[in-house]
Amino acid sequence: MDLNAEVDHLIKTSESWIPMIMEYGSRFLLAVLTLAIGWWLINVLTHRVGRLLALRNADLALQHFITSLANIALKVMLVVNVASMIGVATTSFVAAIGAATLAIGLALQGSLANFAGGVLILLFRPFRIGDWIEAQGTSGTVDSIQIFHTVLRTGDNKTVIIPNGSLSNGLITNTNRQPTRKVVFDVGVERKQDSKYFSELDRWFNTGGASALLHYLKTFDLSATNLRLVPQTDALQDQKLEALITIDQWLYNCLMSGELRENRVAGNCVSWGDEAPKSEIYDIYCSSINKYQLPVKESAFWRAIRNYANMFYGETHKAVGGRRFRTVQINALESARFIFDASNGLKVDWAEFDEMKSEDIFDDIWEVDK
């Protein structure tokens, strides 16, 4: 081939490529410039967002999370925009990202709700770490606030983890938000309409009495106080009596009535201070409970009775009418009542029951089918 022809061919080829190079070269340079400037602007913007969150005293973890999320999202949008400037078809890419985002959102909608709730809690601060709150039927001290859940420590030292989604959308009672709290005390009515008493009380408060009371409470010596000693109140005793299991309740009723009760099935009668077969005492228990309760087995019955040391003691074997029985000695009524009180931490006023008819008490408590 002639050299001149090759040169002419090369010139013509270059002339056809030069417009394309100029067009795409300018696009590429513009895309690179856009990428550099956009990248710098995104970094500046996210840095400003972080400073704004810091000025609002947002949680440090929330600051890093929001700034990182905004930075990544804006840079992905920038890269897609730059690619479209060069001429790359990004429609299918954007559609794929949208479809994947939708699928992930549907699969993790519960977790995303908790995530959004965590962001709102960390951003608007309805409560802080150390606050005592009541929410979702639980009350306790806030130990930590995470993105997906909040950790509470209850009054009995249990750890409760509450999802932030339900927590942010529910009712929250924060008892630490206000500097003072209103407390209502129920008082007696013996001072009702006593204007002289309340006038004197008001004068005392307004002339330094409140400060004196506060000083007294702040300087009160608690070194000898044992918080493990629970005050034995009437309400606590009533609660213990209500919580007695069937066997303990049966013993309590027998001690109230003053007798172990006649066994209507066998036609015998056993009293406190007697010696009786163990099977007979168990039969008395079975025949005494009402029709809505099931008696425990005899072995379980006597295991429960062992909790009351010396109330039933001195087990022996005796022959009666050609039959051998395992008998026990039953303690006297007063001693049995003392053992019952000591075993359950009670101080029952037994004298009150002695004034009543034992038969009426017993029949009123135990609904026996006669």
Contact 75, 42 (CB under 8 A): yes
Which SS3 state, helix, strand or coil, does residue 96 take?
helix
**Whole-number average pLDDT of the chain:** 79
Q: In the predicted model, what is the mean pLDDT of residues 50-77?
A: 78
Average pLDDT rounded to a whole number, residues 166-189: 79
- Model pLDDT, residue 152: 92
Q: State the pLDDT at residue 161.
A: 92
Give 160's pLDDT tier (boundaries 50, 70, 90). very high
As a whole number of angstroms, the distance between CA 320 and CA 266 comes to: 15
pLDDT digits (tens, 9 = 90+) for 140-156: 999 888 888 899 998 88
pLDDT at 362 over 50: no
How many alpha carbons lie under 13 Å from residue 229 in its C-beta half-sphere?
Answer: 3
Domains identified in the chain and CATH numbers: 3-107 (1.10.287.1260), 126-174 (2.30.30.60), 234-365 (no CATH)
Instruction: For residues 114 and 121, give the distance between their C-alpha atoms in angstroms, rounded to a whole number.
Output: 10
* DSSP-based three-state secondary structure for 368: coil
Q: With 60 as the cut, is the pLDDT of residue 273 above it?
A: yes
More confident residue, 171 or 98: 171
Mean pLDDT in residue range 257-272: 65
CA dist., res. 306 & res. 327, Å (int)? 15
Bridge partners of residue 327, in order along the sequence = 277, 316
User: Which residue, among 41, 43, 45, has the nearest Cα to 33 in the 3D structure?
Assistant: 41
**Does the pLDDT value for residue 83 go beyond 50?**
yes
Question: Confidence class of residue 118 from pLDDT cuts 50, 70 and 90?
Answer: confident
Q: How far is the C-alpha of 136 from the C-alpha of 134, rounded, in Å?
A: 7
DSSP string across 27-79 = HHHHHHHHHHHHHHHHHHHHHHHHHHHHHTT--HHHHHHHHHHHHHHHHHHHH
Which tops the pLDDT comparison, 148 or 21?
148
Region of 156 on the Ramachandran plot (φ > 0 left; ψ -120 to 50 alpha; else beta): alpha
Q: Is the pTM of this model over 0.75?
A: no
What is the share, in percent, of the chain residues with pLDDT greater than 90? Answer: 4
